[in-house]
Amino acid sequence: MTLFGFHSSHEQIGPRALLEAVKHAERAGFDAAMCSDHFSPWSARQGESGFAWSWLGSALQATGMPFGVVNAPGQRYHPAIIAQAIGTLGVMYPGRFWAALGTGEASNEHITGDPWPRKDVRAARLRECVDVIRALLAGEEVSHDGLVRVDRARLWTRPEEPPALIGAAVSVATARWCAEWADGLITVNAPVAHLREMIDAYRDAGGRGPLHLQVHVSWAPEQAQAEALAYDQWRSNVFAPPVCWDLETAEHFDVVSADVPAQRVAEVVNVSADLGRHVGWLEEYVGLGFDQIALHHVGQEQRGFIDAFGAEVLPKLRPTG
């Protein structure tokens, strides 16, 4: 059975309000939760960016749901630190935590002052980080000299069962590459044909484990309101790679998105006041075989979305009898 999660958007909502939202989501019938680890929002209009790892400890303690985080080790974070963070949450909340690892975006990573590498270098760096993190979680002492450097690192606190390391991908080629090392795959909503191609590429290359999907939605009681929410909050997120990877600040995203047409936003966000239409979209994703679908309402106020989807959408997507 597909689990339906609540995506906790640190870029849009302050950590105290976000903690209340995820607790409310659990009460409303959501099965799981996840968040992304950002240093910067995608737009000054979003206006937040709390530290995901601090928040995760509180959120896991405050709920009983499984949680995941999308993280980019290698520049802003040393992989040994990420291994320690994963290991500690794995000890405290066994079986409830997973981490998705990706190559990252300049908007978060440029803060170190180091050059932003080419995509192929970032992929090679991530592969090294994955190997370091796995070895540390397995109890090994790790020294490594490459795109990342590690000197005699050892995790003294680690879980009996290491949390899953999920591969983050938006392209078919990256999904195929993730099959080499990942315990599962996560991607974002896209046309069904593209999602099917990604899944097939991952599985055909030997990819194992669960399939995760993050779905951007905008819902409000009136269609015009749903459209306005999506346009205000998410028009800076319509750009395909490499633009979304390489822009450095929220101000850059605001400049390039100033003239984005509303119909372009509807290509990346499922926008509708009709809850039945949201059911239909999600049924298509379920049909592709996703094991967990995290719903991200792109508005900054979450309660109305949580209540409406908990009462009118999620029950229609679950098997009966």
Contacts within 8 Å (CB) and 24+ apart, 145-153 = 147/74, 147/121, 148/74, 148/78, 148/79, 150/78, 150/79, 150/80, 153/80, 153/83
Q: Is 38 a catalytic residue?
A: yes
Question: Which CA distances in Å does 36 have to 49, 102, 233?
Answer: 10, 11, 16
Count, residues in the chain:
321
Out of 11, 105, 109, 227, which one is annotated catalytic? Answer: 105
Q: Is 105 a catalytic residue?
A: yes
Q: Are 50 and 10 in contact (CB under 8 A)?
A: yes
Q: How far is the C-alpha of 93 from the C-alpha of 122, rounded, in Å?
A: 31
For residue 311, what are the contacts with CB-CB under 8 A and spacing of at least 6?
28
Look up residue 186 and give its two tokens: 């996560």
Element (H, E) at 294: strand 292-297
Q: Which residue has the tokens 């690192």?
A: 153
Q: Which residue has the tokens 């490499």?
A: 242
Among 185, 195, 190, residue whose Cα is nearest residue 240:
190
Q: Are 15 and 55 in contact (CB under 8 A)?
A: yes
For residue 115, what are the contacts with CB-CB under 8 A and spacing of at least 6?
none
Q: How far is the C-alpha of 1 from the C-alpha of 13, rounded, in Å?
A: 30
For residue 313, what are the contacts with CB-CB under 8 A and spacing of at least 6?
275, 278, 279, 282
Q: Are 321 and 31 in contact (CB under 8 A)?
A: no
Out of 7, 10, 38, 278, which one is annotated catalytic? Answer: 38
The catalytic residue positions are 38, 105
